Amino acid sequence: MFNGLSAFPLTPMAGESVDLKALGRVVNRVAKAGADSLGVLGSTGNYAYLSREERRAVLEIAVEAASGVPVLAGIGAVRTRDVLVFAADAQNAGASALLLAPVSYQKLSEAEVFGLFDTVAGESDLPIVVYDNPGTTGFTFSDDLHARIARIPGIASIKIPPPASGEVAARVAKLKAGLPEETSLGISGDWAAAEALLAGCNVWYSVIAGVLPQQARTLVDHAVAGRNDLASAASSDLEPIWSLFRTYGSLRVTAALAEDLGVVPSSALPLPLHGLDSEGRESVADAIRQCGLEA
Amino acid sequence: MFNGLSAFPLTPMAGESVDLKALGRVVNRVAKAGADSLGVLGSTGNYAYLSREERRAVLEIAVEAASGVPVLAGIGAVRTRDVLVFAADAQNAGASALLLAPVSYQKLSEAEVFGLFDTVAGESDLPIVVYDNPGTTGFTFSDDLHARIARIPGIASIKIPPPASGEVAARVAKLKAGLPEETSLGISGDWAAAEALLAGCNVWYSVIAGVLPQQARTLVDHAVAGRNDLASAASSDLEPIWSLFRTYGSLRVTAALAEDLGVVPSSALPLPLHGLDSEGRESVADAIRQCGLEA
C-alpha cells in the first residue's frame, strides 16, 4: 500500500459545504486510472477545515468510490483527543491507513510529537503515515526524530516535503540511511517526485494525481522500471504546472485546474481561503495550454 | 475596555477536561485584583484546543466569575464558518468583546485575512481585538494590513507581539502612526509591557496578570501615572519570570507557576502539549524564590 502512486484528490466544495457527489466522481476517476492508493483528507483534501461529521462523510463516500483501492485517511488536529476520535472514525469508515501531521497552535517539542505518534499508534489498528509538512504544521522534524518515530510499531511510511532543488537525491539517501529497512519513504511536492523516486523513494504522495492520474501513473511506471530519462521527461512535461505550484501553492492551483479541466464543478475553497485571483487563473489556463491538456 | 490591564488567565485542566471550578476561582481572583478586562480563551487559555462546548462552558463560567469586569473572548479557528459560530456563542455567553487571531493551516494571504476580519466584524455586534501572533498562527501582519483592518467598523484594538529588545518604542510609534486615533494598541509579551506602555500602548494584554494580578496592576498604574522608573522597576522585579517566558514559552511557565503558587490545583495542558520537564520546573521554583513570591 505504501509503494508506487498514492493520489491525493481535493475535496470539492459547493459553497461552504462538501460536494459529496463530486467527491465520489473525483475519487472513482482516480481509482480507475490505476492509483495504488488514495490519500483522502490530505492537505489538498482540506481536512484541517472540516468538522468531524464532514470528515466522516468524506471517508465513507471515498471508500465506496475507491472500489477496493486502499484509502489513507488524514486525521490531523491540534489536540490528541480529537486525533484519536478521527482515527477511530476513519477505521469505522473503512480506511486502510492513517495520515497524521503534527498540526500545531503552540509550538511543539520533539517529545510532544513523539508522544502524539506513540499514542495514536498504540490506540489504532491501522498503519500510520507520518506526514511531515512544516509549511502547514509549523513543526520541523529532525532526522533523528523521524528515525525514532519510524521504530514505533504501526508506523509504516513517512511523507516528506520536497527537498531544495539539486538536493533531492542526497536528502533521500541521508534520511533513508537512518530509517528501518521496512519503512516506506514517500515524496510530496510534485515537482520533486521523479527525482525522488529515482533516488529511492518508495511512493509518490501526489497532489496532481488527483486531477491528472494518467500522467502521474505514467511517471511512476517509468521510474519504477528504471526508465530514468522517460520519468524525468514525464515530469518536465508538467513543469508549467509545477511552476504554478511553487508560486501559488498546490491547493489553490489544483482547485483551479480541476475546475478548468471539468473534473469538479467548482473550485471553491472553505473560507477564509480564497481561490486564485484573475491573474492566477490566467496562468493556470496558460499552463493547461502549454501542457497540451485542453479538454 | 481596551485600556489599562487586560488579564489573560489560563484555562485550568483536570486531565483532559476543563476544570471549570478552578477556572471560576482563577477568574474571580483576577477580577477582584482590579483588572480592567479579562481575556478568556486566549492562547494561554488554550482556546485552540477546546471544542465548541468547552469554549461555551468556559465563557459562561468566566463571565459570571468576572462579576462585571468585561470579558474578551478568544474565537479563533482555521475556518471562518467556525469563527462565526464561536463569535455568536461568545455574545450569547455575555462576552463584551472578541479576540480574533488569523489561525491558519494553509498559509493565508493579506486578502484572506482582511476578508476574515471584515466578515466577522460585519456579522457580530461585539467590538473585536485583532490578535497578531505569528508564532502560533503562522501569519505575519504588515503595518499596512493592520491599518486597513483597523478601519473596518467594529475593530477596536490590536494585540501585538513583543518587539525585539531595544526596538519597542520605535515599533509602537511606527505602528500607531498608521492607525486611526481611536484604535487601541495593546502589547503582549509581558517582558515588553512596561516599555510599550511608556511608549504609548493603551493596554497590556497580560499573561502574568492571570497569576500575579497585583504585580501587573501595580506596573500598569505606575506607567499610566507617568512614573516611568517605578514602572520599569516593577517589570525588572519579574525579570526571572520573563526570562523563563522567553526560554520555554509563556503557556508552559505560567501553568507551572500557577500550580506552584496554589492558584490552580494542576498544571496539566491538553495533549499533545506537555508541561515543563523537571529542569524547567526547577527553574520556575528558582524564579519564584528570586522574585520573592513564595506562598
DSSP B112-133: HHHHHHHHHHHH-SS-EEEE--
Supply the CATH number for residue A46's domain: 3.20.20.70
Provide the pLDDT for residue B123: 98
Which of A109, A251, A272 is opposite residue B80, by nearest beta carbon? A272
Phi, psi of A97 (to 5 degrees): -160, 165
Is pLDDT of A295 > 80? no
Is pLDDT of A89 > 90? yes
Nearest Cα residue in chain B from A116 = B272
Nearest CA to A74 out of A50, A105, A110, A109 is that of A50
How far is it, in rounded angstroms, from Cα A240 to Cα A105? 34
Provide the pLDDT for residue A46: 98
Is pLDDT of A23 > 70? yes
Which of A105, A249, A273 is opposite residue B103, by nearest beta carbon? A105
In a domain, B284, yes or no: no
In a domain, A180, yes or no: yes
Contacts 24+ apart (CB under 8 A), B284-293: B284/B244, B284/B253, B284/B256, B284/B257, B284/B260, B285/B260, B286/B240, B287/B240, B287/B241, B287/B243, B287/B244, B287/B257, B288/B257, B288/B260, B288/B261, B290/B240, B291/B237, B291/B238, B291/B240, B291/B241, B293/B212, B293/B261
How many Cβ contacts (< 8 angstroms) between chains A and B? 87
How far is it, in rounded angstroms, from Cα B172 to Cα A216? 52
Please state, rounded to an integer, the average pLDDT across all residues of chain A: 97
With CB atoms and an 8 Å threshold, state whether B113 touches A272.
yes
* pLDDT digit string, tens, across residues A116-153: 999 999 999 999 999 999 999 999 999 999 999 999 99
Q: Residue A125 carries which side chain, given as an amino acid letter?
A: D
pLDDT more than 90, % of chain A: 99
In a domain, A236, yes or no: no
Provide the pLDDT for residue B75: 98
How far is it, in rounded angstroms, from Cα A292 to Cα B162? 51
Chain B residues within an 8 Å CB radius of A13: none
In a domain, A248, yes or no: no
Please check whether residue B256 is in contact with residue B281, taking contact to mean a CB–CB distance below 8 angstroms.
Answer: yes
pLDDT tier at A294, thresholds 50, 70, 90: confident
**Other beta carbons within 10 Å of B84:** 17
Sign of CA dihedral A201, A203, A205, A207: positive
In a domain, A112, yes or no: yes
How far is it, in rounded angstroms, from Cα B19 to Cα B66? 16
Provide the pLDDT for residue A244: 98
Nearest Cα residue in chain B from A277 = B111
In a domain, A161, yes or no: yes
Place of cell 492513517: A98
Looking at the structure of chain B, the number of domains it has is 1
Residues making up chain A, counted from first to last: 295
* pLDDT digit string, tens, across residues A223-232: 999 999 999 9
Provide the pLDDT for residue B295: 65
- Please give the grid coordinates belonging to residue A80: 490528541
Chain B residues within an 8 Å CB radius of A106: 43, 48, 136, 249, 251, 273
Does the CB of B262 have a partner CB in chain A at under 8 Å? no
Does the CB of B118 have a partner CB in chain A at under 8 Å? no
Phi, psi of A12 (to 5 degrees): -65, 140
Provide the pLDDT for residue B294: 81
Give the domain extent around B56: 4-225
In a domain, A250, yes or no: no
Q: How far from the centroid of its chain's Cα atoms is residue B245's Cα?
A: 14
Average pLDDT over residues A252-274: 97
* pLDDT digit string, tens, across residues B41-71: 999 999 999 999 999 999 999 999 999 999 9
With CB atoms and an 8 Å threshold, state whether B270 touches A81.
yes
With CB atoms and an 8 Å threshold, state whether A48 touches B78.
yes
Residue by residue, pLDDT tens for chain B (295 residues) are 999 999 999 999 999 999 999 999 999 999 999 999 999 999 999 999 999 999 999 999 999 999 999 999 999 999 999 999 999 999 999 999 999 999 999 999 999 999 999 999 999 999 999 999 999 999 999 999 999 999 999 999 999 999 999 999 999 999 999 999 999 999 999 999 999 999 999 999 999 999 999 999 999 999 999 999 999 999 999 999 999 999 999 999 999 999 999 999 999 999 999 999 999 999 999 999 999 998 6
Place of cell 494542576: B266
Preferred mutation among B83, B86, B106, B269 to probe A, highest tally of A CBs within 10 A: B106
Chain A residues within an 8 Å CB radius of B138: 138
Is pLDDT of A36 > 90? yes
Which of A81, A102, A270 is opposite residue B16, by nearest beta carbon? A81
In a domain, A66, yes or no: yes
- Please give the grid coordinates belonging to residue A153: 510499531
Chain A residues within an 8 Å CB radius of B273: 106, 108, 112
With CB atoms and an 8 Å threshold, state whether A272 touches B116.
yes
Between the alpha carbon of residue B47 and those of residues B54, B86, B99, B206, B265, the distances in Å are: 9, 11, 11, 16, 20
